[in-house]
């Protein structure tokens, strides 16, 4: 496509420039009419955040996304450039992307005055019209707005009050585009004050000189809630000038959370995806859900979606490590791999004082235990619920039985089962097959058969761990070797303290 190269050619083409917020609004309306996805890959916000964001753009508002860590705030703002035109014309050489018809800088005005319709123009792609800055305490007004450059002034023999002596900051350089400032509360209050004019009067002043440059910028901010960010806060006058405050949130359903982790986690190794049973995905997500309501976790800090992504990748990696060492082709996680997700969990939760007293590892193990018990209850009947006695007086049965009775009774007879994360599959499967009734109860509720030996064996271990989390059998873990045994015998042996807490 041959685009105009001078202002004159641009005029003859009939091109008209519009303010950036009008441009974004028009492109948004086009996408809405065409039913195009606005923010692909953003899951769980379809009825909450996305409508609020659409309304703000239609209203031509500057925006702040307010939410805890790991709620896709940065990802959303990085998708906003897709609402810009693919290319827009600017005066060639302009530092502030001057509109060829209405330049705002002295450079652009002088060039248009001197060269007229022969003024050269460049075409700026939408990706170059988006600027992003992470707010830190050391950010200055010069970084964001600009400052007088004494070397530039001396070299060109300019007075300091001359606009040509200015070195423009990030915001003026984002003229006719989108500027995003992440973690706004981390910006010092005196620097936040410097944003007042940009938000309200849409201009900037440099060093107090009588130079005002009217800007055309779509401003977007992100922040954590003020009561969490102890490094600073958003000053009230600045918050008042930001038109729309949009609250983000964590996934509200397990299905949304699973879809997000499935989209983000790296689970395909060496070109082949790992075989991850669905209940494993539920357990991983339930760890985050449990953490978000745990009394040991600081709820003001939030529990990022990065926790489940890292946990899932660690789970798959341990299964991959086993497959590599044992020469097995299939990468299939086992319940005994779950302790290996702890490195992805403990560093991503902020503990309150009571949690610090317990220790990060103990809290992490408890979260995994609670998640396992919660997911187990979705697939299997309650192991603690006793069935009704038969009404018939002819029955000689003294103790009512449930489907777990053969499994529990086997352990009550003094038997134990040892599983480790480095066992070859044949040995792992054979060890689980020793428990009478375990295969039958697993097949009944998971509809698995011998045609899927990997899935069946892993599900059988899931049943054992579910019984442990419901205090029907005991479990000891030492160096990633799990030993299942009788609960009563464990207590009377004086080693009850070694039992994993599932409560």
Q: Domains of the chain, with CATH numbers?
A: 7-137+176-247 (3.40.50), 254-379 (1.10.8), 405-498 (no CATH)
Predicted local confidence at residue 129, as pLDDT: 96
Element (H, E) at 66: strand 63-66
Residue 387: which pLDDT band, with cuts at 50, 70 and 90? low
Distances (CA, A) of 444 to 153, 280, 335, 378, 450: 82, 19, 19, 14, 13
Contact 225, 246 (CB under 8 A): no
Q: Token pair of 170, please?
A: 């990030």
Backbone angles phi, psi at 450, to 5 degrees: -70, -10
The conformational region for residue 14 under phi > 0 = left, psi -120 to 50 = alpha, else beta, is left
CA gap 51, 378 in Å, rounded: 33
Contact 456, 449 (CB under 8 A): yes
CA gap 315, 340 in Å, rounded: 6
| 222-235 residue pLDDT tens | 998 855 555 678 89
DSSP annotation of 229 reads -
Backbone angles phi, psi at 429, to 5 degrees: -65, -40
| 330-364 residue pLDDT tens | 899 999 999 999 999 998 999 999 999 999 999 99
pTM: 0.87
β-pairing, 130-134 with 177-182?
A: parallel
- Write out the E strands in 153-243: 166-168, 177-182, 203-205, 212-214, 217-223
| 398-414 residue pLDDT tens | 445 688 999 999 999 99
Predicted local confidence at residue 226, as pLDDT: 59
Angle between helices 453-469 and 405-412 (to 10 degrees): 70
DSSP H helices, 447-497, are 453-469, 487-492
β-pairing, 217-223 with 244-247?
A: unpaired
| 431-488 residue pLDDT tens | 999 999 999 999 999 887 788 999 999 999 999 999 999 999 999 988 889 999 998 7
Predicted local confidence at residue 197, as pLDDT: 83
Rounded to the nearest 10°, the torsion over CA 435, 440, 441, 442 is: 90
Q: Token pair of 306, please?
A: 């990065």
Predicted local confidence at residue 202, as pLDDT: 75
Contact 345, 307 (CB under 8 A): yes
CA gap 12, 4 in Å, rounded: 9
The partner residues of 474 in beta bridges, in order of sequence, read: 485
| pLDDT at residue 190 greater than cutoff 80 | yes
CA gap 136, 153 in Å, rounded: 29
Block residue for tokens 């530039």: 152
- 22: which residues sit within 8 A by CB, 6+ positions away? 60
CA gap 473, 458 in Å, rounded: 18
β-pairing, 268-269 with 272-273?
A: antiparallel
CA gap 409, 404 in Å, rounded: 8
CA gap 174, 217 in Å, rounded: 7
Block residue for tokens 């009944």: 444
Mean pLDDT in residue range 46-65: 97
Q: Token pair of 314, please?
A: 């660690």
């Amino acid at each position: 496509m041959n685009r105009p190269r001078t202002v004159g050619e641009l005029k003859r083409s009939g091109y008209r420039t519009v303010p950036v917020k009008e441009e974004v609004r028009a492109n948004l309306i086009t996408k809405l009419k065409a039913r195009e996805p606005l923010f692909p890959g953003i899951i769980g916000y379809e009825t909450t955040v996305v409508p609020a964001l659409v309304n703000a753009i239609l209203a031509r508002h500057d925006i702040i996304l307010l939410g805890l860590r790991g709620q896709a705030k940065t990802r959303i703002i990085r998708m906003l450039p897709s609402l810009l035109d693919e290319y827009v014309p600017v005066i060639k050489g302009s530092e502030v992307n001057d509109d060829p018809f209405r330049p705002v800088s002295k450079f652009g005005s002088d060039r248009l005055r001197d060269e007229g319709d022969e003024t050269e123009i460049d075409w700026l792609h939408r990706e170059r019209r988006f600027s992003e800055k992470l707010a830190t305490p050391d950010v200055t007004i010069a970084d964001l707005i600009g400052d007088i450059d004494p070397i530039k002034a001396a070299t060109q023999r300019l007075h300091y009050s001359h606009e040509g002596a200015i070195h423009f900051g990030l915001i003026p350089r984002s003229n006719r585009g989108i500027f995003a400032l992440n973690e706004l509360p981390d910006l010092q209050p005196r620097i936040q004050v410097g944003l007042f004019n940009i938000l309200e009067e849409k201009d900037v002043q440099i060093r107090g000189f009588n130079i005002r440059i009217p800007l055309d910028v779509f401003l977007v901010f992100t922040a954590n809630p003020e009561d969490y960010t102890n490094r600073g806060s958003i000053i009230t006058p600045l918050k008042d000038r930001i038109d729309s405050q949009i609250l983000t949130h964590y996934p509200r359903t397990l299905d949304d959370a699973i879809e997000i982790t499935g989209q983000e986690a790296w689970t395909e190794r060496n070109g082949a995806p790992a075989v991850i049973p669905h209940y494993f995905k539920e357990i991983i997500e339930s760890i985050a859900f449990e953490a978000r309501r745990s009394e040991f976790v600081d709820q003001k800090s939030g529990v990022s979606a990065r926790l489940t992504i890292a946990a899932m990748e660690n789970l798959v990696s341990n299964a991959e490590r086993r497959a590599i060492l044992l020469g097995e082709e299939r990468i299939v996680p086992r319940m005994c791999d779950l302790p290996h997700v702890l490195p992805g969990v403990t560093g991503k939760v902020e503990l309150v004082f009571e949690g610090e007293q317990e220790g990060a590892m103990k809290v992490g193990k408890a979260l995994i235990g609670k998640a396992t018990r919660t997911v187990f209850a979705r697939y299997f009947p309650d192991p603690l619920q006793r069935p009704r006695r038969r009404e018939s007086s002819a029955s000689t049965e003294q103790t009512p039985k449930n489907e777990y009775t053969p499994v529990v009774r086997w352990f009550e007879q003094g038997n134990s089962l040892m599983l480790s994360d480095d066992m070859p599959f044949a040995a792992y499967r054979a060890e689980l097959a020793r428990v009478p009734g375990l295969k039958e109860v697993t097949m009944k509720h998971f509809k698995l058969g011998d045609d899927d030996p990997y899935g069946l064996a892993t599900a059988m271990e899931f049943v054992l761990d579910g019984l442990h989390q419901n205090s029907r059998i005991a479990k000891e873990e030492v160096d990633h070797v799990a030993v299942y045994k009788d609960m009563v015998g464990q207590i009377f042996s004086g080693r009850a303290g070694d039992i994993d807490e599932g409560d």
